[in-house]
Amino acid sequence: MGTGSSTDARTGAGGDSEAFRALAESLGAPAPPGLAAAAPEQLGLLTRALRTRKESHAAGLNDAAEEALKLVPALARGPVRRILFR
């Protein structure tokens, strides 16, 4: 039996695995330590779901901002857009 922080696929990815680091990067914060026991495939699935949700959320915000710009008088839209979307 070996020692160390990494684990095999039966016991989970381990807190130092690439999948665990990718999840933490997607979260923008340290991943909860309990997720270190999850399999790399599960962490990958969660990471992809988070990234997809963030992309969807960002697209929704952009759409909402563009829709809100329609309330700004036409002559001011260009400058307002440049201020908001630098």
Over residues 42-61, the pLDDT tens digits come to 999 999 999 999 999 999 99
Structural domain boundaries enclosing 24: 18-84
User: Which of 15-19, 46-50, 66-70, 81-85 has the least mean pLDDT?
Assistant: 15-19
Per residue, the 3-state secondary structure of the chain, as one string, reads: CCCCCCCCCCCCCCCCCHHHHHHHHHHCCCCCHHHHHCCHHHHHHHHHHHHHHHHHHHHHHHHHHHHHHCCCCHHHHHHHHHHHCC
Report yes or no on 10 lying in a domain: no
Model pTM score: 0.62
| pLDDT 10s digits, 8-40 | 444 466 667 889 899 999 999 998 988 888 899
Report yes or no on 50 lying in a domain: yes
The pLDDT value recorded for residue 7 is: 44
Looking at the structure of the chain, the number of domains it has is: 1
